[in-house]
Structure 1
Amino acid sequence: MPERRMDWWPVAAWEMRRMLTRADFVISVLLMPLLVLGAGLATRLIVERSNAKPLRIAVAEAQPSGALVPVAPPPLARVVWAAPGGDTLTRAGLAAAVRARALEGAVILPGPLAAADSADVVVRRARPAWEAEVLGHLSAVGRRARAADAGLDSAALARLDARLAAREQVVTPGGRVSRADRATALALMLLTLATVFTIGAYMGIGITGEKQARSTEVILSAVSAQSWMDGKIAGYTAIGVLQVVLWAASAAVIALFLSFPLSANASPALLAASLSLFVAGLCLYAALYGTIYATIKDLQSSSSFQAYLFFIPFLPLMFMEGVMRSPDAGWVVALSHVPFFAPFLLPMRMTLGAVAPWEVPLALALCAAAAWLLRGVAGHAMRIGMLMYGKDVSLPELARWARER
């Protein structure tokens, strides 16, 4: 059937209407922000209650005879310095008190705090949250005592601790980024990953369900296979964009509700580039999933090769450490322009100030070209796949279909 210019639009509009009226999709899109809000409120309540509860910590000094003497350090926020006595003022007694939750923990010094270079910490679980704070406080107290013994007052000690005040000069364009830029790029990357898998799942349910119901054959009698696939790709891309807009707006509302500070320092250029890469990547992955679903009759009949393709969005995560360490390395630059990786890796490199001005247009062009090529493969696979209903497709067959026009 000859393909008319806008044959794909009715398919895309119908697909969007169908998805927006699906109860499970609407619930999942609306339920996710509610779950995040509930988790945020619960976490905030737990943290506030935990911060309001004082921590009973005992500090004792070991004598040469082995006996313990209680020590009362200077005050520390949220910490009540307990003064154990009697049977508790032994190593076994302190351990029993911590085990019985009479104490949150205990610190046993080998000698006077000013001379101590180590400490035994008695805890219920390894590395509790308060341990570093308490030990840091005791170290600072001991340091001030040693400085006083050496004839240094607090002002002299502060001068010794003074750090260089650095004035940073960034000499490359785009090299200066803010924490808001990093947070925005990371949030958008996670939203991209979640949206890709969401639309992939619903796309699979829709396409394979239509093929099993044999309704695809009726549809293809009215529009070409390419228009049908183009409509699917456009429709699910639009649904993904709408989903991210709703989630992002919900996140902003939740942040305001939880009094989470929102920064207005995010770079408009970085935000625009990240959003453009997100849309291009979403369209590319929709075309990839369309190609996969065009070659299978249902979700249970996919081959191992086809199943591996679903994990492509996870591959960029394997290179994150290398990107963070060397964002301007040659292999990182090349890898971040691979169409399937660009929506994830390039925004991350942008937050590190390692992206040249020409890289974003190049990545967008490569993503658009790959999506255009893949949508043609998907349409061709759908046209021929309908003639092979019930037969699994191998990789050589898929490659041969892509070459045949």
Structure 2
Amino acid sequence: MNKTLLIATSEYLRRVRSKWFVVATLAVPLLALAVFALPMLAFSDDGEADRVAILDEAGLAGSVADALGDRATVEVADAPLDTLRARVLDGDLDGVLVLPAGLVAGDDGVRARYFARGGLDAGDGVGGAVREAVRRARAQAAGASPEAVAAYESGVELDRVTVSADGDETDAAFGRYMLANLLSLLMYLAILVFGMMVMRGVIEEKSNRIVEVVASSVRPFELMMGKVLGIGAVGLSQLLAWGVLTFGISVAAGPLLLALAPDAAGDAPADAPFGPDMISGMLSPGLLVAFVLFFLGGYLLYSSLFAAVGSAVDQESDAQSLQTVVVLPIMIPIFFLTFVANDPDGGLSLFLTLFPLTSPILMVVRMAVADVPVWQVALSLALLAAAFVGMIALAARVYRVGILMYGKKPSLADLWRWVRTA
């Protein structure tokens, strides 16, 4: 065991001391912030209201202008449509809204039209303003009083409350869903990247014949476990650093982003995006502990298979077909993220969060959106640990033979023969 720890320590220190580890550790949180912040800034209001001309045959220009408010400067025009279109092309207008006669009456084929030069924000709010004006006009035409129309249009807030054995709490459903997706993606990338790092390390040592020298001093199983544990510790350290840096950067940058793009936050409270209360409320200690445990279990399970693949080939290009067998099960949970988030207590969700090949990613997703019984989490971890013990035994048989085999690319039948005879 001392030899295993010695190899693990060597693998860990060699990687964390490299400049690429430092660059990746610092770059990923900054890139994540940029991915979120740049669209937020891009879609923020530039402070200039749209210039909209209305060709009004329905008598709704005033109501539409009131509904648009400060978002647009409205001009009621009587010029021909072609003339107004030319002004749009020249940049004198941002859009032309045509309200035909019969719109309030709901005549067949009568539709409002908005002419603009395009873009995702073209006519932002115009559709809602037209609908509001038409509904109000139709209600008044049907005899509804202004008070009744106002009462009908008044909004009603609905709080989602999560019921759990520990008590009820107001639930930010969308935030939890985004958190679940973030954690699952992080888990997927970490397992894939660090598992393939194990494979590349084995291939490199094998191609350089270093493994022959090392294998003369330690048993192949100790060598494989040392590499798996050492690189796994690198991954855990990097995830911890990413978490701390992301939290610190987001808390520090949140007020600045809200100041630069206040409209991008919508009607959310000022302290909601990036706020410590929001982040700490969703990232419960239990979820963080579960994330670490399932990451370790998933990494150990898959990295042992990556090590076996690396030992079976002489160069990385030969590993493409074999590593597909390992990568495919890691990808499957990604296709079930939305399903598990929408139906966390369903039978299929329960199976996927207990099955060892999918549980590392999907159990964390399920825990982020629902209250999962402790016994199910414990059973999932136990099954994951049992699967790792069984898989490491099989992978060790392949590793024991493969690290000293050269020249021939093995088939799946060859790998199975190694498992049976090693």
Q: Shorter-chain-normalised TM-score: which range?
A: 0.7 to 0.9
Aligned equivalents of 1:25, 1:178: Cα separation in 2: 35
Q: Which residue of 1 aligns with 2:347?
A: 330
Q: Secondary structure at the match of 1:361?
A: helix
Aligned equivalents of 1:194, 1:306: Cα separation in 2: 15
TM-score (norm 1): 0.84
Candidates 131, 153, 156, aligned match of 1:139: 131
Q: Which residue of 1 aligns with 2:204?
A: 209
Give the deviation of 1:331 after TM superposition.
2.9
2:251 is the counterpart of 1:256 = yes
Aligned equivalents of 1:213, 1:131: Cα separation in 2: 63
Q: Is the Cα contact below 8 Å between 1:225 and 1:383 reproduced in 2? A: yes
Q: Secondary structure at the match of 1:388?
A: coil
Q: Is the Cα contact below 8 Å between 2:7 and 2:223 reproduced in 1? A: yes
Residues 109-120 of structure 1 aligned to structure 2 (within 5 Å): 109-111=99-101, 115=105, 118-120=111-113
2:376 is the counterpart of 1:383 = no
TM-score (norm 2): 0.81
Candidates 9, 12, 15, aligned match of 2:5: 9
Q: 1:244 to 1:171 in 2, by over 3 A?
A: closer
Q: 1:78 to 1:304 in 2, by over 3 A?
A: farther
Q: Which residue of 1 aligns with 2:236?
A: 241
Q: Which residue of 2 aligns with 1:319?
A: 336
Give the deviation of 1:148 after TM superposition.
4.1
Q: Which residue of 2 aligns with 1:123?
A: 116
Give the deviation of 1:142 after TM superposition.
3.1
More helix by share: 2
Q: Is the Cα contact below 8 Å between 1:12 and 1:232 reproduced in 2? A: yes
Aligned equivalents of 1:336, 1:309: Cα separation in 2: 19
Mean Cα deviation higher: 270-279 or 219-228: 270-279
Aligned equivalents of 1:79, 1:163: Cα separation in 2: 20
Alignment length (residue pairs): 393
2:383 is aligned with what amino acid? L
In structure 2, stretches of 5+ residues that fail to align are 255-272
2:54 is aligned with what amino acid? V
Residues 129-208 of structure 1 aligned to structure 2 (within 5 Å): 129=121, 131=123, 133-161=125-153, 173=165, 178-179=172-173, 180-208=175-203
Q: Which residue of 2 aligns with 1:265?
A: 281
Q: 1:161 to 1:102 in 2, by over 3 A?
A: closer
Q: Is the Cα contact below 8 Å between 1:229 and 1:375 reproduced in 2? A: no
2:23 is the counterpart of 1:27 = yes
2:15 is aligned with what amino acid? M
Cα distance per residue 1:341-377 (max 9 Å; x no partner): 1122222223442744322111111111222222223
Q: Secondary structure at the match of 1:118?
A: coil
2:412 is aligned with what amino acid? L
Give the deviation of 1:169 after TM superposition.
7.7
Aligned equivalents of 1:213, 1:329: Cα separation in 2: 51
Cα distance per residue 1:354-404 (max 9 Å; x no partner): 744322111111111222222223332222113322221221222232334
Q: Which residue of 2 aligns with 1:396?
A: 413
Q: 1:268 to 1:350 in 2, by over 3 A?
A: same
2:84 is the counterpart of 1:91 = no
Q: 1:303 to 1:314 in 2, by over 3 A?
A: closer
Candidates 25, 39, 42, aligned match of 1:46: 42
Q: Is the Cα contact below 8 Å between 1:240 and 1:282 reproduced in 2? A: no
Q: Secondary structure at the match of 2:378?
A: helix
1:58 is aligned with what amino acid? A
2:185 is aligned with what amino acid? L
Q: Secondary structure at the match of 1:73?
A: helix
2:359 is the counterpart of 1:367 = no
Give the deviation of 1:290 after TM superposition.
1.4
Q: Secondary structure at the match of 1:107?
A: strand
Give the deviation of 1:171 after TM superposition.
6.3
Q: 1:178 to 1:84 in 2, by over 3 A?
A: closer
Identity %: 27
Q: Is the Cα contact below 8 Å between 2:176 and 2:369 reproduced in 1? A: no
Q: Secondary structure at the match of 1:261?
A: coil
Q: Is the Cα contact below 8 Å between 2:196 and 2:306 reproduced in 1? A: no
Candidates 66, 73, 77, aligned match of 1:74: 66
Aligned equivalents of 1:22, 1:170: Cα separation in 2: 45
Q: 1:215 to 1:193 in 2, by over 3 A?
A: same
- CA RMSD between the two structures: 3.1
Give the deviation of 1:69 after TM superposition.
11
Q: Is the Cα contact below 8 Å between 1:57 and 1:79 reproduced in 2? A: no
1:186 is aligned with what amino acid? N
Q: Secondary structure at the match of 2:51?
A: strand
Q: Secondary structure at the match of 2:2?
A: coil
Aligned equivalents of 2:289, 2:357: Cα separation in 1: 19
2:275 is the counterpart of 1:279 = no
